[in-house]
Structure 1
Amino acid sequence: MHSTRIVDGVGGPLRRLTLPDGVAFGVVAASTFLAFASNAAASPLYRVYQAQFGFSAVTLTLLFTVYSMVLLGTLLSLGSLSDYVGRRPMLLAGLTTGTVACGLFVLAHGVGLLFVARALQGLAVGLITGAAAAALHDLRPHGSAASVLSGVAPTAGQALGAIVASALGQYAPAPTRLIWWLLLAMFVATLLAVLTIREPGGRRRHADLGLLRPQVSVPRPARGAFATAVPCLVGLWGLGGFYLSLGPSLAAQLLHSENLLWGGILILLLTGLGAVASGALAQVSPNRAMFIGCVALTVGALVTFAAIGTDTPWLLFLGTAIAGLGFGPGFLGAYRATVTVPLVTSAERAGLITAIYIVSYIATAVPAVIGGIATALYGLHGTALIYCATVSVLTASAAVILVARHMVTPPTASQTVPCPEPPLGACTVPACPPNVPVSARQ
């Protein structure tokens, strides 16, 4: 522990203990992990809440959507705020908000508190994501550890949060309370740990509100690549939204089992294998990674379609695993293939990245709500069939367009530009690259 000299309100010197930077690095990574674990913990419990409070599939998907929309709004409006107020205050604000959200889940006695809790979770993740990603690079500016942890922590948090919540919900007492008590305690412990780290980044004396306002644009040289990426992004994020909202209900229907663990396993396969595949294909060219992802997503969606059509549970898990293998590479490939288009300037690239994020989050939320409405009107079985068929058409179209564009205009060695830092993981990207120095944005 280090001792830091500070000054109290009357000018007297005080000292407080601060964690070494190596330990602080782990604390910040734990903040990101915890934020996304708490988000995913809600997914396997939606069916329990639905039975307790008697709401429809539409309400269920709206609970998922309110999180995504608040998260997107927070990232777009406050993604760079830690440059002005510091990383620690933003992390503390996010962890405090996450603590309150867990408390509301513990107290929830109706759907109203569930909506407030989900909105606060979106706010908490948005506040933590940008500040944590920047703080990781501040604390470890050299080497790849910051980028690796930035990518792994959110996805690992989602995977572990879903499986632990489903296991506790099924086998532990107080299925809708225990997981939130545990997460609340972890939030408090992490908050106290963040209080003992030094401020990793610098601050600007005066806030430039113009820099906080998000830029959204698709420059002319990138329009072809962006148009190719859109069906891939819509297909994969639409599938992700469906799994995180209605996936556990689908598993219960096919398995004819009320065991919550099956829903957690389904989410674990999608997010966990997505993370593994992203790491395995990290060095593959963007277009190739996107193509591999689209093919895997198409096959996975078709296998899942067959599982639903034939009422074969094991095919559902196989299809989910195949889709998971395509999920990570598909997104990273689409992201990198778009932002590394030649002739796009650095200033234009910021607006292009924001456009990718907006498409991704809308594709996560809106199809999930449409799926909820269709489920209420026509049933989950038919809705899931149409959903899988739509995803397969979108991702297959992206693969075909990608091949056609590659054949018409094959890339050359001179057409490569440095790629910005990869996004943080499934549906967690901040609204601007987190490791851009403050001076570079002025």
Structure 2
Amino acid sequence: MRNSAAVHAAPRHAAETSGTGKRGFWIVTSVLALTLTAASAPTPLYGIYAADWHFSSITLTVVFAIYAVALLFALLAFGTLSDAIGRKPVIIAALVLQAAGMLWFITADSVTWLVVARIAQGLATGLVSAAVSAALLDLQPPGRTGLAALTNALMSTAGLGAGALGSGALVEYAPHPQRLVYIVVLIAAVVLLVAVIFCVDETVTAKRRPQLWSSIAVPKALVPAFLAAAPCLVATLALGGLYLSLGPSLAHELNHSTNHLLGGAVPAMLCGTGALATAVMRSSSARSCIIVGCTTLAVGPGLTAVALGIGNSPLFYASTVIAGVGFGVGYLGTLRSLVTLADPEHRGALVSAIYLVAYTAFSVPVVVAGVVTTREGLEHTAIGFCAVLAVLAVTALAATLRTSNRAARVAPPSPAGLTDSQSS
């Protein structure tokens, strides 16, 4: 799951760091990229695990979804921990957890150990999300306003795509297909652990007693906007969950092939397109992002359903690219439309509510799809899933247009011509 915590916008705790500041920024960026790469690395291997250990689609989707549950727990329980004890200790703890997860993957001989490894990954990603987002803001080079947020968004989505594609290539063409990808990630985690310890400055100078568990609330004034954005948020994250869990299996069925690089290319195309679209529309208004995102979220999954129904592989990949635009831009617009409306004192609780909806949408529908697959088959389940996503996207688009038109009728002009994209 992509990192969403950039919206916390933590203040600088230490002044501009010198010497290792710029280097520290890119090391922390590498930690984020590695974390999301590791998150999608098991994707091309799920089919192998299911075949070797004879478990069903339900079990496969539970193994996938448990990651999101652990991630949400870590975010809600420890999301503000780095503000209290420092960025480095939290990032170091996350890297240690990531390394432990890789070791459990390497030695796994049953579904139980897959679940344990995925829990470790989810906890590591949850810890990294808030700490890395804040550290990037702290270490952002002077005069490069916006670099931290853009780097955060791009590395998160690109990391997911790189993990699936790289893992597919190693599984298909390299030796030890069920272990090599995890060994590579383990080595990278150890290298980055050493780099963080010795080459990254701590930016939190005023330590305090940590307060765990984030509050979850939507300010009353923002409830209409939240409800309008929720279908887009759900569609975006559910789409990501579908492609990252069952995408390779769909590619194998359509192409009548077991090539794991071909399977890994499906989530990679979705995430890569999402990253590119995010970069292209990074300066666009929230409304523009949601309109483009919801439109492509409706068209992409709709064409995917058609492609699966007629068994057309090229159309399936084309629809994945279209859906990828919605995956990146829809999420960007949803976050921007909500977070910029909240007062600073309510922003943390609102972000926690967004996380709750997002990770529930990322995990629960996938498990439901796993249950339905055992009765209706993968193809029919995916068609129904995509149809629901398209309906959600159309609903979100209509709600967005209705809400923005209503706001335009009643809102006073923005001071000095400030737009929502500039204020975000």
Partner of 1:440: none
Q: 1:365 aligns with which of 360, 363, 376?
A: 363
Cα distance in structure 2, aligned partners of 1:182 and 1:208: 34
Letter in 1 for 2:112: G
Cα distance in structure 1, aligned partners of 2:77 and 2:206: 17
Identity %: 37
Change in CA separation of 1:176 and 1:253 when aligned onto 2, cut-off 3 Å: same
Cα distance in structure 2, aligned partners of 1:227 and 1:417: 22
Bigger CA radius of gyration: 1
Cα distance in structure 2, aligned partners of 1:183 and 1:19: 28
Cα distance in structure 2, aligned partners of 1:262 and 1:20: 41
Cα distance in structure 2, aligned partners of 1:215 and 1:50: 38
SS at match of 2:198: coil
Change in CA separation of 1:421 and 1:215 when aligned onto 2, cut-off 3 Å: farther
Does structure 2 conserve the Cα–Cα contact (< 8 Å) formed by 1:304 and 1:320? yes
Does structure 2 conserve the Cα–Cα contact (< 8 Å) formed by 1:43 and 1:245? yes
- Which runs of structure 2 are paired with 1:63-212 in the superposition (5 Å)? 63-140=63-140, 142=142, 143=144, 144-209=146-211, 212=212
Q: Aligned pair 1:269/2:269, yes or no?
A: yes
Does structure 2 conserve the Cα–Cα contact (< 8 Å) formed by 1:298 and 1:395? yes
Cα distance in structure 2, aligned partners of 1:275 and 1:294: 16
Q: Report the alpha carbon displacement of residue 418 of structure 1 after superposing the two structures with TM.
A: 7.0
Q: Report the alpha carbon displacement of residue 413 of structure 1 after superposing the two structures with TM.
A: 3.4
Count of matched residue positions in the alignment of Structure 1 and Structure 2: 401
Partner of 1:398: 396
Change in CA separation of 1:19 and 1:320 when aligned onto 2, cut-off 3 Å: same
SS at match of 1:409: helix
Cα distance in structure 2, aligned partners of 1:230 and 1:349: 17
- Which runs of structure 2 are paired with 1:279-318 in the superposition (5 Å)? 279-318=279-318
Cα distance in structure 1, aligned partners of 2:52 and 2:257: 18
- Which runs of structure 2 are paired with 1:208-219 in the superposition (5 Å)? 208-209=210-211, 212-219=212-219
Q: Aligned pair 1:345/2:343, yes or no?
A: yes
Q: Report the alpha carbon displacement of residue 340 of structure 1 after superposing the two structures with TM.
A: 2.7
Q: Structure 1: where are the runs of 5+ without partners?
A: 1-17, 423-442
User: Superposition RMSD on alpha carbons, in Å?
Assistant: 1.9
Length-normalised TM-score, structure 1: 0.87
Comparing 302-311 with 147-156, greater Cα deviation is found at: 147-156
SS at match of 1:195: helix
Cα distance in structure 2, aligned partners of 1:363 and 1:39: 17
Comparing 262-271 with 345-354, greater Cα deviation is found at: 345-354
Per-residue displacement from partner, 1:259-283 (whole Å, max 9, x unpaired)?
Answer: 1112211111111111111111112
Q: Which runs of 4+ in 1 moved over 6 A?
A: 415-422
Change in CA separation of 1:72 and 1:420 when aligned onto 2, cut-off 3 Å: farther
Change in CA separation of 1:171 and 1:351 when aligned onto 2, cut-off 3 Å: same
Letter in 1 for 2:356: I
Q: Structure 2: where are the runs of 5+ without partners?
A: 1-17
Letter in 2 for 1:186: A
Q: Report the alpha carbon displacement of residue 349 of structure 1 after superposing the two structures with TM.
A: 2.5
Does structure 1 conserve the Cα–Cα contact (< 8 Å) formed by 2:153 and 2:278? no
Partner of 2:4: none
Does structure 2 conserve the Cα–Cα contact (< 8 Å) formed by 1:139 and 1:200? no
Cα distance in structure 1, aligned partners of 2:165 and 2:203: 35
Length-normalised TM-score, structure 2: 0.90
Does structure 1 conserve the Cα–Cα contact (< 8 Å) formed by 2:290 and 2:329? yes
Cα distance in structure 2, aligned partners of 1:364 and 1:219: 24
Comparing 268-277 with 199-208, greater Cα deviation is found at: 199-208
SS at match of 2:396: helix
Does structure 1 conserve the Cα–Cα contact (< 8 Å) formed by 2:24 and 2:201? no
Q: Aligned pair 1:319/2:343, yes or no?
A: no
Cα distance in structure 2, aligned partners of 1:191 and 1:358: 29
